[in-house]
Structure 1
Amino acid sequence: MASRTLCRPLARSALRATAPSRTFTASTLSRQAQGSPNPQQNGEKYTHFGFENVAEHEKAQRVAGVFSSVASSYDTMNDLMSLGIHRLWKDHFVRSLNPGSNSGSLTPTTGPSPSQGWNILDIAGGTGDIAFRMLDHAHNVNHSPHTRVTVSDINPDMLAEGRKRSLETPYANSKNLDFLVANAEELPVPDNSVDLYTVAFGIRNFTDKEKALREAYRVLKPGGVFACLEFSGVTNPLFEAVYKRWSFGAIPLIGQLVAGDRASYQYLVESIEKFPRQDEWKNMIQAAGFVVPGKGWEDLTGGIAAIHKGIKPVEKL
């Protein structure tokens, strides 16, 4: 999302006008997914908005419209779209990071001590579901009462939903939880100040993913961890065909029936199709300067989603 200024949410009617429902065949999906945006046209950079090529400033506005439209029904729709499996993915994601531990994913020599707690930045955290899980794990499993999470999102409507939901947790109005309206590509966060940077099901909507990765690298402490949970590429061809039929046939229809908003969910499934596959995304994380452990990712449910991690190197004296 390239613009520093938050764009006003689009009205649903305007959003539907710009993103009409479409029917896709397998060949159409292949052509759309392989197409690349015009890098520049009439002096302006272009990028993907689903299967459309749009000016970068227009993408920021249209993505804002999508998430303002779906904010109040976002988790309900995620349950319906994934049959509830997204909750298991998120639980596993948090456990794999072990927030609040003195010897978890962070390099032990540079990681925070139990008395300090972890400083976690959850990007595109909107409704707070990752942040609340992080704090529950840190406080209840690792007994790290000083671990804190800042939930950052470019969309005020999503953050408002998160603030409202936080009132049902022990962390509302505490030093453990904060909310920040910010663009992930230009964060108002000091260099080398964050122990763990997380982003779950959000980075595919960024306008400039490489710039966001560089910002993640900048704000992380040496030894700090970048962790991303995102939809990815299904590894089994037969399963992939079934999954795409479900995604492009059922999910927009569910969005229309449950949320009264087909266009936003049409965009969401298209954005999944346009996101880099596992190996390409791993290479992008490495290009930003991170050290990628092991294979570089962990597939979930046959590759429908994947967890990627990168460690900011510790400078040698």
Structure 2
Amino acid sequence: MTRGAYDVPDAFDAGADAYDGLVSANPGYHDHLRLSAQRMQLPDEGRGLRLLDIGCGTGASTAALLEAAPHAEIIGVDGSAGMLEQARAKQWPDTVRFVHSRAEGLADAGVAGPFDGILAAYLVRNLSDPDPVLQTLRGLLRPGGVFAAHEYSVRDSAVARVTWNLVCAAIIIPSGKIRSGDAGLYRYLRTSVNDFDGATAFRERLQRNGFVDVRSETVSGWQRNIVHTFLAYAPR
């Protein structure tokens, strides 16, 4: 999960202690994660299912998956040891476990399929080369299994780009500096979102990497056309 010269897991290690407090101040952050997990339409409350939460961070996306599929086996994976430490300190049922690994090294970390569903929240944008990782994730899915990428994408909407940059300059970057003492991670966040695929381009990327039935939905409120759920499936 290294993007250029900026090592994202190392940056999250440094900001892990402040991360939960900062995202909790973001209206809709947890609701939107829960919405993406619900949009995966996991059957029967997850009974008999294996799910992967790739890029799980401090466990907010894991909690969203658990709420959508409380009876599933869930493996949360993240490249930041600091973020995983925060995740593991929370209360989880025995069906949830965490693995320290970058997205590029899942096999070496013993993370193996098949999975019935994979959630990647705020992950793909941070990958220096997303395509091999997307191909690996598709290969970890059962035939017909669902992949959901919960992600910021603003390139397709001028209003979204302006809103995103205003919110970053006025709120996210100053708040990040106050809470963590370093605004570097949050300046990176702003830039990485501006540089990431538009929603149309990312849907096309998923199709190029072998996923089928690709679609996306956004959220309501000021984050409309900023936060998206991208849904795609492994061929049957």
- TM-score w.r.t. structure 1 length? 0.67
| Residue 92 of structure 1: how far off its partner (Å) | 1.0
> Which has the higher mean CA deviation after the structures are superposed, 282-291 or 266-275?
266-275
| Residue 260 of structure 1: how far off its partner (Å) | 1.2
CA contact (8 A) 2:10 2:80 kept: no
Question: What's 2:50 paired with?
Answer: 119
Of 202, 225, 229 in structure 2, the residue corresponding to residue 303 of structure 1 is 225
Question: What's 1:79 paired with?
Answer: 24
1:119–1:239: structure 2 CA closer, same or farther, 3 Å change rule? closer
1:197–1:239: structure 2 CA closer, same or farther, 3 Å change rule? closer
Question: What's 1:202 paired with?
Answer: 123
- Indicate the structure with greater strand content: 2
| Residue 304 of structure 1: how far off its partner (Å) | 1.0
Question: What's 2:138 paired with?
Answer: 217
Query: After TM superposition, which residue ranges in structure 1, 4 or more long, deviate above 3 angstroms?
Result: 234-240
Gaps of 5+ in 2: none
Question: What's 1:13 paired with?
Answer: none
Equivalences for residues 122-271 of structure 1 within 5 A: 122-139=53-70, 145=71, 147-165=72-90, 167=91, 169=92, 171=93, 174=94, 176-188=95-107, 189-190=111-112, 192-233=113-154, 237-238=158-159, 240-271=161-192
CA distance in 2 between counterparts of 1:235 and 1:208 reads 21
Give deviations 1:52-90, integer Å, cap 9, x for gaps: xx4xxx44xx2122101111221221233x3x2112211
Find the residue that maps to 1:185 and give its secondary structure: helix
Question: What's 1:68 paired with?
Answer: 13
CA distance in 1 between counterparts of 2:162 and 2:102 reads 35
Percent identity over paired residues:
24
| Residue 156 of structure 1: how far off its partner (Å) | 1.2
| Residue 236 of structure 1: how far off its partner (Å) | 5.1
- TM-score w.r.t. structure 2 length? 0.89
Find the residue that maps to 1:303 and give its secondary structure: coil
Aligned CA-pair RMSD? 2.1
CA distance in 1 between counterparts of 2:234 and 2:163 reads 38
CA contact (8 A) 1:73 1:259 kept: yes
Equivalences for residues 9-88 of structure 1 within 5 A: 49=3, 54=4, 58-59=5-6, 62-80=7-25, 82=26, 84-88=27-31
Gaps of 5+ in 1: 3-48, 105-111, 140-144
Question: What's 1:40 paired with?
Answer: none
CA distance in 2 between counterparts of 1:235 and 1:209 reads 19
> Which has the higher mean CA deviation after the structures are superposed, 262-271 or 245-254?
245-254
Question: What's 1:90 paired with?
Answer: 33
CA contact (8 A) 1:186 1:215 kept: no
